[in-house]
Amino acid sequence: MSSYGAVEPGTDLSVRARELRRVRDAVLGGLRPDARPRPVVARSWSRVMAIGLAPDGVNARDPLPTEEIERRRHVSALSLVVDELRRVLTTVADASLFLMVVCDADGIILWREGAARVRAQADRLGFVEGATWTEQCVGTNAIGTALAEAAPVQLFSAEHYEQQQHPWYCTAYPLHDPRTGDLLGVVDISGPAFTLHPALGSLVESAVRLAEASLWRHHQDGLERLRREAAPLEGSGPLLVVDEHGWVAHHVGLAARDRIEVPSADRPIAVPGLGLCVPERIAHGWLIRPSTSPVSVTARLAPDGVLDVTGGERSWRTTLTRRHVQILTHLAAAGPAGADAAALSVLMHGDTDHVVTARAEVSRLRRAVGALVVTGPYRLADGVRLEVVGEGS
């Protein structure tokens, strides 16, 4: 069974369903239940009750029009891997009586495939393409709760908030963009509650891991295409050629690095070793070269999270989240030795159990500040000085 599974192997599912109904009825009725719901379920029920959704009614799904579904499919990186997800999951869906459902980061169902009989049951539930399956819309469900918890979730029977979802199980696993760490959406398998098998959690997790690996291969293919396009620039450095997300495909005249700040045509960016550069658009990415001689970079961080970056005669500004302010100041304090993901997990959560989350947060921070932060270990780049307003500045 997966670590987030709803039932232990060998569980009598009909008995467990009755137990969960008694627990749910007690909690929603303001009474003390005989047994506590699982922590992930208790947190979700609390959020949903605070919203005021009807537990025994039908909450709005409001499916999007077909044109909007197609637009979302077209712009989503999930479209690159949905066929791979089909190969892993839908080949056994008919025999196992479940649906494969793929949602975007807004909780909107973009693809739904599987056993015909289960699709018909899902239609009656409003579990259809274009419908929004967040906690805010339909209460506690694996998709919406996985989005809210930023973690995989499996739910069984009356762990769902809406009574009409009790005949179902659902297993949802978030899928992230390996280039940025950003959440792309959620992959879910759902079916009749009493057909839940403990191995299903591992199945959907494996499918997501394969899809993320496939996305990384697409990323590497894109960088290789950029390298070929950059071949005529050989010997004209110093320069970098990067993709839309700042990943370096080619470098001339300076040490290799994996990533810089995401380029934008409307402002210069800071690149240690090059100073401040003005990005130039090329066919499938950006050409980055110095606008002046290389200079040191000073980043001035205000209490409200505004980061002013200067180097030479150019400057730029961005606003960081509170979490990213925390990470950046910690990395500055760590000095050249830097910090690893475990240390950042302790900083952010008080333990070493959130290493994956810490890495994702640093990835997002680097998307905001680019090469000001480098990896291996995480630290401020050489030549970058952070000044925190109010701390000796």
Contacts of 249 (CB under 8 A, 6+ apart): 222, 223, 224, 226, 227, 230, 241, 242, 243, 285
Domain identity same for 255 and 206: no
**Do 102 and 185 form a contact (C-beta atoms < 8 A)?**
yes
- Establish if 225 belongs to a structural domain: no
Q: Report pLDDT for 94.
A: 58
For residue 227, what is the enclosing H or E element? helix 200-230
Model confidence over 4-24: pLDDT tens digits? Answer: 899 998 999 999 999 999 999
- Establish if 300 belongs to a structural domain: yes
41-55, 149-163, 362-376, range with the lowest pLDDT? 362-376
Domain identity same for 168 and 282: no
pLDDT at 168 over 80: yes
- Establish if 1 belongs to a structural domain: no
Q: pLDDT band at residue 374, thresholds of 50, 70 and 90?
A: confident
User: Any bridge partners for residue 159, and if so which?
Assistant: none
Domain identity same for 197 and 322: no
Model confidence over 31-74: pLDDT tens digits? Answer: 999 899 999 999 999 999 999 999 988 888 889 999 999 999 99
CATH number of 130's domain: 3.30.450.40
Q: Report pLDDT for 373.
A: 84
Q: Report pLDDT for 21.
A: 96
Question: How many distinct structural domains can be found in the chain?
Answer: 2
- Establish if 3 belongs to a structural domain: no
- Establish if 118 belongs to a structural domain: yes
Omega of the bond prior to 238 within 30 degrees of 0, cis?
yes
Last residue of a domain, one of 153, 187, 218: 218
Query: Shortest CA distance to 175 belongs to which of 186, 190, 164, 167?
Result: 186
pLDDT at 393 over 70: no
Domain identity same for 40 and 157: yes
- Establish if 2 belongs to a structural domain: no
Model confidence over 202-249: pLDDT tens digits? Answer: 999 999 999 999 999 999 999 999 988 888 876 667 888 999 988 999
Token pair belonging to 66 = 């077909």
Mean pLDDT for the chain overall: 89
- Pairs from 54-60 (Cβ < 8 Å, separation ≥ 24): 54/162, 55/24, 55/28, 55/139, 55/161, 55/162, 55/163, 56/162, 56/163, 57/162, 58/126, 58/162, 58/164, 59/137, 59/138, 59/139, 59/162, 60/137
Domain identity same for 168 and 310: no
Percent of the chain with pLDDT over 90: 56
- Establish if 370 belongs to a structural domain: yes
User: Which value, in Å, is the radius of gyration of the alpha carbons in the chain?
Assistant: 24
Q: Report pLDDT for 235.
A: 64
Domain identity same for 192 and 239: no
Q: pLDDT band at residue 293, thresholds of 50, 70 and 90?
A: low
Cα torsion 148, 154, 157, 158: sign: negative
Domain identity same for 161 and 265: no
Which residue in the block uniquely carries the two structure tokens 């979490």?
Answer: 323
Domain identity same for 184 and 331: no
Could you tell me which residue, 263 or 192, shows the higher pLDDT?
192
List the domain range (segments joined by +) for residue 57: 13-218
Domain identity same for 192 and 305: no
Region 129-142: mean pLDDT is: 97
- Establish if 8 belongs to a structural domain: no
Domain identity same for 263 and 289: yes
Last residue of a domain, one of 218, 247, 265: 218
Last residue of a domain, one of 218, 242, 267: 218
Strand ranges (E), 248-383:
248-252, 269-271, 275-277, 280-282, 285-288, 297-301, 306-311, 314-319, 373-374, 379-380
Domain identity same for 199 and 295: no
Domain identity same for 252 and 162: no
pLDDT at 271 over 80: no
Could you tell me which residue, 92 or 110, shows the higher pLDDT?
110
